[in-house]
Structure 1
Amino acid sequence: MSSDKHPSGAPWRNFYGRIKGKGLRRAQEAYLDEDLERLSPGPVSWAENPERRPLALEPLFGDRPVWLEIGFGGGEHMVHQAARNPDIGIVGCEPYINGVAMLLGKIRQAGVANLSVHPGDVRDLFDVLPARSIARAFLLYPDPWPKKRHHRRRFVTPEYLEPLSRVMAPGSVLRVATDIPDYVRQTLQQVPRHGFEWLAERPSDWREPWDDWISTRYENKALREGRVPYYLTFRKN
Structure 2
Amino acid sequence: MDRDEAKSAHSAELRSFGRRRGRKPSPRQVHLFTELLPRLTFDLAEPAPKALESAFAPAVSNVWLEIGFGGAEHLVWQARHHPDTGLIGCEPFEDGVVKALTAIDEDALGNMRLWADDVRPLLRWLPEASISRVFMLFPDPWPKKRHHKRRLFSPELLRLLARVMKPGAELRLATDIGDYARTALMAVSQVPEFRWTAESPQDWRQRLEDWPGTRYEAKAGREGRRCYFFRFLRV
TM (norm. structure 1) is: 0.88
Q: CA RMSD in A?
A: 2.0
- Determine which of 169, 172, 177 is the counterpart of 2:169: 172
Please show how residues 20-169 of structure 1 align to structure 2 within 5 Å.
20-40=21-41, 42-44=42-44, 49=45, 53-56=47-50, 57-61=52-56, 62=59, 64-169=61-166
Which position in structure 1 is the counterpart of 2:229?
231
Alpha-carbon distance in structure 2 between the residues aligned to 1:187 and 1:180: 11
Query: Alignment partner of 1:80: what SS?
Result: helix
Which shifted more, 147-156 or 53-62?
Answer: 53-62
Alpha-carbon distance in structure 2 between the residues aligned to 1:127 and 1:215: 29
Alpha-carbon distance in structure 2 between the residues aligned to 1:171 and 1:211: 20
Offset from partner CA, 1:198-236 (integer Å, 9 cap, x none): 111111111111111221111111111111111100100
Alpha-carbon distance in structure 2 between the residues aligned to 1:162 and 1:53: 21
Contact kept? 1:71, 1:140, Cα under 8 Å: yes
Structure 2: runs of 5+ lacking an equivalent? none
1:10 CA displacement = 6.8
1:5 CA displacement = 7.8
Contact kept? 1:76, 1:106, Cα under 8 Å: no
From the two aligned structures, give the one with the greater helix fraction.
2
Alpha-carbon distance in structure 2 between the residues aligned to 1:163 and 1:191: 13
1:20 CA displacement = 1.6
Alpha-carbon distance in structure 2 between the residues aligned to 1:197 and 1:58: 26
Query: Alignment partner of 1:104: what SS?
Result: helix
Which shifted more, 103-112 or 169-178?
Answer: 103-112
Offset from partner CA, 1:114-141 (integer Å, 9 cap, x none): 0000111101101100111110000000
Contact kept? 1:135, 1:169, Cα under 8 Å: yes
Q: Give the total of aligned pairs.
A: 226
Contact kept? 2:103, 2:109, Cα under 8 Å: no
| Residues 9, 230 of structure 1: alpha-carbon distance in 2 compared, 3 angstrom cutoff | closer
Query: Alignment partner of 2:40: what SS?
Result: coil
Alpha-carbon distance in structure 1 between the residues aligned to 2:144 and 2:126: 32
Which shifted more, 142-151 or 59-68?
Answer: 59-68
1:15 CA displacement = 1.7
1:9 CA displacement = 5.9
Contact kept? 2:54, 2:60, Cα under 8 Å: no
Which residue identity does 1:199 align to in structure 2? T
Query: Alignment partner of 1:175: what SS?
Result: strand
Contact kept? 1:156, 1:191, Cα under 8 Å: no
| Runs of 4+ displaced beyond 6 Å | none
The percentage of aligned residue pairs carrying the same residue is 46
- Determine which of 199, 202, 208 is the counterpart of 1:201: 199
2:189 corresponds to 1:192: yes
